[in-house]
Amino acid sequence: MAIRQIVKEGDDVLSKKCRTVERFDSRLGQLIDDMTETLHKAQGVGLAAPQVGILRRVVVIDVGEGVIELVNPKIIAYSGEQESLEGCLSCPGEWGYTRRPNYVKVRAQDRNGNEFEIEGRELLAKAFCHELDHLDGIIFKQKAIRMLTPQEAAELNS
Ligand code: ZN
């Protein structure tokens, strides 16, 4: 396992659409392991492959209940609404309010190519939406209703 460098906003790779994963090999496993280690080191909630410079549809999420690995994820159902603060490891120190569904159901494959479905509410639903957006080149700031001012963000970070 290895820590990978997290790409910051402004890098082209974050605005591109990721390709579908077709090979479920040891390289994919390595990428997922590295992303998980990188996520934990950065103390984040989720990380998408483009954030480590890889344009593949791969996401790892950990809201404190264990790591969820998603390959080729798709949102197949959602409902409700939540408005809450959101940040991104690629936009350090920046926070904004977003409106997301309160419930999201995702269909994905695991690292071996087996299909599964997983549901999330509140923080997990928000994480699914945020990370899957990365796979289509979208950063949360594009969807934010209001970004915190630098002063507000500084108070939040302190
Ligand atoms: Zn992000």
- The Å distance, Cα 11 to ligand 1 centre, comes to 13
**Count of domains observed in the chain:** 1
In a domain, 24, yes or no: yes
In a domain, 90, yes or no: yes
Catalytic residue among 9, 86, 131, 155: 131
Res 141: pLDDT: 96
Mean of the pLDDT values across residues 48-56? 98
In a domain, 144, yes or no: yes
Residues 8 and 90 sit within 8 Å (Cβ to Cβ): yes
Strands (E), 7-67: 46-48, 58-61
Which tokens belong to 29? Answer: 């496993």
Q: Look at residues 72, 56, 68, 70 and name the one whose alpha carbon lies nearest to residue 123.
A: 68
In a domain, 148, yes or no: yes
Range of the domain at 97: 12-157
In a domain, 2, yes or no: no
In a domain, 109, yes or no: yes
Q: How confident is the model at residue 157 (pLDDT cuts 50, 70, 90)?
A: confident
- The Å distance, Cα 79 to ligand 1 centre, comes to 22
Res 1: pLDDT: 72
Query: What percentage of the chain has pLDDT greater than the value 90?
Result: 95
Res 70: pLDDT: 98
- The Å distance, Cα 26 to ligand 1 centre, comes to 25
Mean of the pLDDT values across residues 43-54? 98
Mean pLDDT score across all residues of the chain: 96
Q: What is the pLDDT of residues 65-123, one digit of tens each?
A: 999 999 999 999 999 999 999 999 999 999 999 999 999 999 999 999 999 999 999 99
Q: Which of 29-33, 125-129, 135-139, 151-155 has the lowest mean pLDDT?
A: 151-155
- Residue 108, exposed/middle/buried by CB under 10 A (0-12, 13-18, 19+)? buried
Q: How confident is the model at residue 156 (pLDDT cuts 50, 70, 90)?
A: confident
Could you confirm whether 115 is annotated as catalytic? no
Res 158: pLDDT: 74
Give the domain CATH number at 20.
3.90.45.10
In a domain, 19, yes or no: yes
In a domain, 6, yes or no: no
Res 16: pLDDT: 97
Res 65: pLDDT: 93
